[in-house]
Amino acid sequence: MTTEDGLTIRAHSLVVAAVSSLVLLRLQWRAGDRKEEIQVCLGPEVSRLGLAAVLEFAYTGAVGSLNQDSVVQIQSAALALGVHRLLDLCEQEKEGKKKMEGKKEQEKNTRISAEEQLESSLQSIRLMLEERVDCDVELEARQRTFHAHRVLLAASCDYFRGMFTSGMRESKQSSVALMFVEDVELEALLRCSYTGTLMLGWDLVFDFTSTALQFQIQPALSLCLEFLHKEIHPQSCLDVISFAEAYEMGELRELAEDFVLRHFPEVSVTPKFQDLPVDKLLWYLQSNSLCVPSELVVFQAVMAWIQSDPRQRTKLARELMETIYFPLMTFKELKEAEAQTKWLKSNVESLYETVLEDFCSIGSNGNMQYRAYLPKDNLVLVGGEGITSDYANRKPSRALWFGNSLRNHTGIIKDVEWRTLGEMPEQPRFSHEVAVLRGQLYVAGGRHYYGREDVMNSMFRYDPLENNWRRLADMQEARSNFAMLVVGETIYAIGGDTDSEVNVDSVECYCSTTDAWRFTHPLDLALSSHAASVWQEKIFISGGFSRDCQCLTSILQYHPEKGTTHISDMSQSRAHHCMETLANHLYIAGGLSYDASSLCLDQLSCEIYDPRADSWCTIAPLPIPHVGAASCILEEKLYILGGYCQEDYNESRLVHRYDPATQRWENMGRMPGANTDIRACLLQIPSHLRK
């Protein structure tokens, strides 16, 4: 492309034709050798600035230099080259239709616009492929031949980039033979290069991943790995491990092995589990990340593995049985285990004797008091207080605790192994809030004591990798009994009560990049002691107290720019309760409520809200009251931690866990320190702090 003043710029015809009707027409009319370059000589109306803007738009979808001073030159170039989408942008600029509210909003709109423009360009390129416009290479698979554009193949695939740009013989050929690739694989991977999409299933994903690795087609490889990460299940995880080992994909192998350990009961009953080599089976059984509800599950897995080839595997029984904690079985489980040996074939008498010998050794090993399971993420408890009738002896807490392991004791007895993580800086906190962003803990607001002026607006950040705290910008309003959560990269502080013990409707958000808070759209009513959670980037707020101390049944959906929308109410009023998002549902548990005579009562009922259907259902009630408790989701189970009983004002020192699979609450042991107005979150605690 040459301007009248002598500037010559070389560009890719496919990219420019995707936006320029003039260049597209030249490509459609071009005859003969497609390697011959197209010469576009532009008239005096096209300046250097205008041509540069057209090319920037073709390659990026945006024009950074478009403003009131340059719009005429850019418009002239766009008109000469037939770049209609750029002409539309010039018209918008001239008419002043783009009204930005600040630099940040302008960058956001520019980014979104660029993505839309690039998608339109890709649609044009796909149409050119269908019409075989400017297709300059043929790819020969085993039975079919596919037409394509070299520049697009080189852009999306390291293999073709090397082939077409390094002087290889194929760089000068119009046809490239790929006889080692199946037709269906090459067609799908080519489609991915042009569309960014890939139709995947377990019948195809391993072949597609292998081919994408071989050709280093990054878009397809990313989609394949995303599928393997998100869609892995008990029937496929062992195949994923074998594939990852064959192709030396360490991260994928670790993910799949972690899945096996954390879903061991489901994996152990699949046919592929019986094909495991003994060393791999032992590695799973001896891992401290093995998650099982009871030792009977481990016993059944071992027996099924031996039974699949008893002649060869009976001799390994002793070594395998040593991984089972028989003393943790109940008498009923022992009887069930013994019964399962009776249907084995007669040639496993030695195995049966081994099992009986281990049964008889119950209690002989004093170290077998529990099986410890180390979760990847750790429950962390922050601050809180202890309840006593004497306010003078009440002491808010600065302590942080983390759950190092989950322990299975005999039968259904379980607990959390709590360890100290240090203390918050400066003052203690209760009725505060916590949030986790990029693996770091944010602690804000709350009270440090019981006076009217003891509500705080300060915020600190804890980095578990560095094991240190940093003071951050204060909230614009002091808050306690509020809600705080993360949406994307932004932290929101919602409602609460202030120094004057008055509920507020204000909402503010925190940007970690600028270390600054700013107010967003307020709620349509003042709230305190409410709960909030996020589902699909949407904020939901439940219950709480209104400014006139009414305990509410309402559920609100909050938008930072539009405010609140009322949706279907809860069946019960509640405040000082918990709400968490799990498996596309909002789980609401605990708290207190008022009866018809305005008597304050413990709220044991629990409800689930489905945002997609805007509907409610109930689940099993809590075993004991949990008012002012902490809550968290760990490995697809809901934890309710601590709190107190409103009716007798005694502390609830227990941890309860709800498992959606069994629809039951489990007792997970006792709290380690403060119990009331405490907060919980998940962090990954470094190994050196867990020792």
Q: Judge whether residue 299 has pLDDT over 80.
A: yes
Same domain, 192 and 113: no
Q: Is position 339 within any domain?
A: no
Give yes or no for a contact between 161 and 187, defined as CB atoms under 8 angstroms apart. no
The torsion angles phi and psi of 136, rounded to 5 degrees, stand at -120, 10
Q: Are 264 and 301 in contact (CB under 8 A)?
A: yes
The residue out of 196, 216, 231 marking a domain boundary is: 231
Q: Is the four-CA dihedral 472, 475, 478, 479 of positive or negative sign?
A: negative
**Does the pLDDT value for residue 594 go beyond 90?**
no
Domain membership of residue 312 (yes or no) is no
Residue 565 included in any domain: yes
| Cβ proximity of 590 and 567 under 8 Å | no
Beta bridge partners of 112: none
Q: 542 and 461 in one domain?
A: yes
Both 112 and 141 in one domain: the answer is no
Please give the DSSP secondary-structure letter assigned to residue 70: T
Q: What is the 3-state secondary structure (H, E, C) of 574-588?
A: CECCEEEEECCEEEE
Residue 484 predicted with pLDDT over 50: yes
Tens digit of each residue's pLDDT (9 = 90 or more) over 595-606: 877 789 999 999
- 146-187 per-position pLDDT tens digit: 999 989 999 988 888 888 888 778 777 888 888 888 888 888
**How large a percentage of the chain has pLDDT more than 90?**
65
- Which residues have C-beta within 8 Å of that of residue 374, sequence separation ≥ 6? 288, 289, 404, 405, 690
What pLDDT, on a 0 to 100 scale, did the predictor assign at position 354? Answer: 60
445 inside domain: yes
Question: What one-character DSSP code corresponds to residue 674?
Answer: -
Residue 179 falls inside a structural domain = yes
Please tell me whether residues 540 and 618 are part of one structural domain: yes
Share of the chain above pLDDT 70, in %: 92
CATH label of the domain that carries residue 156:
3.30.710.10
- For 583: left if phi > 0, alpha if psi spans -120 to 50, otherwise beta; the answer is left
Record the tokens describing residue 618, joined without a space: 């109930």
- Within a domain: 538: yes
CA dist 110 and 63 (Å) reads 9
Residue 640 has pLDDT above 60, yes or no: yes
Q: What is the CATH number of the domain that holds 460?
A: 2.120.10.80
**Given this model, what pLDDT does residue 105 score?**
45
Q: Which residue has the higher pLDDT, 481 or 334?
A: 481
Q: What is the pLDDT of residue 46?
A: 92
Query: For residue 27, what pLDDT band results from cuts at 50, 70 and 90?
Result: confident
Q: Check residue 358 and give its pLDDT.
A: 58
Stated pTM of the model: 0.80
Burial of 62 (0-12, 13-18, 19+ CB in 10 A): middle
At residue 450 the predicted structure's pLDDT band, cuts being 50, 70 and 90, is: confident
Total domains in the fold of the chain: 3
pLDDT in tens, 351-391: 555 655 655 554 444 456 899 999 999 999 999 998 776 66
Mean pLDDT of 38-47: 90
DSSP string of 136-188?
-EEEE-SS-EEEE-HHHHHHHBHHHHHHHHS--GGGG-SEEE-TTS-HHHHHH
Burial state string for 373-411 with b = 16 or more CB within 10 A and e = fewer than 16: bbbebbbbbbbbbbbeeeeeeeebbbbbbbbbbbbbebe
166/218 same-domain check:
yes
Q: Do 116 and 160 reside in the same domain of the chain?
A: no
Residue 386 pLDDT: 86
Q: How confident is the model at residue 34 (pLDDT cuts 50, 70, 90)?
A: low
CA dist., res. 256 & res. 228, Å (int): 9
- What pLDDT does 541 receive? 98
For the chain, how big is the Rg over CA atoms in Å?
32
pLDDT of residue 35: 59
Average pLDDT in the 609-637 region? 96
- CB-CB contact of 545 with 600 (8 Å): no
Helix (H, G, I), strand (E, B) or coil at 439: coil
Q: In this predicted structure, which of 22-36, 397-411, 425-439, 464-478 has the lowest mean pLDDT? A: 22-36
55 plus 94 within the same structural domain? yes
CATH of the domain at 20: 3.30.710
Q: Residue 672 corresponds to which tokens in the numbers above?
A: 């380690």
Q: What integer pLDDT is reported at residue 173 of this predicted model? A: 82
CA distance 480 to 447: 6
Q: Which domain holds residue 29?
A: 13-129
Q: Are residues 193 and 49 part of one domain?
A: no
- End-of-domain residue from the set 198, 231, 264: 231
Residue 106 confidence (pLDDT) above 50: no
Q: Is residue 302 part of a domain?
A: no
Q: In the prediction, which pLDDT does 557 show?
A: 96
Same-domain status, 105 and 155: no
Mean pLDDT of the chain: 89
Name the domain boundary from 175, 196, 231: 231
| pLDDT grade for 100, boundaries at 50, 70 and 90 | very low
Kindly state whether residue 109 falls inside one of the protein's structural domains.
Answer: yes
Residue 534: per-residue pLDDT = 97
pLDDT of residue 109: 46
Which neighbouring-strand residues pair with 557?
540, 565
HSE-CB of 598 using CA atoms within 13 angstroms: 3
Each residue's pLDDT tens digit, 173-232? 888 888 888 888 888 988 888 988 899 999 999 999 999 998 888 889 999 999 999 999
Both tokens of 443, joined, read: 């602690």
In 3D space, the residue among 188, 183, 228 whose CA is nearest the CA of residue 205 turns out to be: 228
Q: What is the mean pLDDT of residues 106-122?
A: 71
Give the model's pLDDT for residue 327.
83
> Which residue's entry shows tokens 């509210």?
101
By the 10 Å C-beta count (0-12 exposed, 13-18 middle, 19+ buried), 349 is classed as exposed
Rounded to an integer, the average pLDDT of 125-131 is 91
Rounded to an integer, what distance in angstroms lies between the CA atom of residue 76 and that of residue 64?
17
- Give the pLDDT mean for 431-453: 94
Average pLDDT of the residues in 53-81: 92
Scored b (16 or more CB within 10 A) or e, 63-79 reads: beebeeebbebbbbbbb
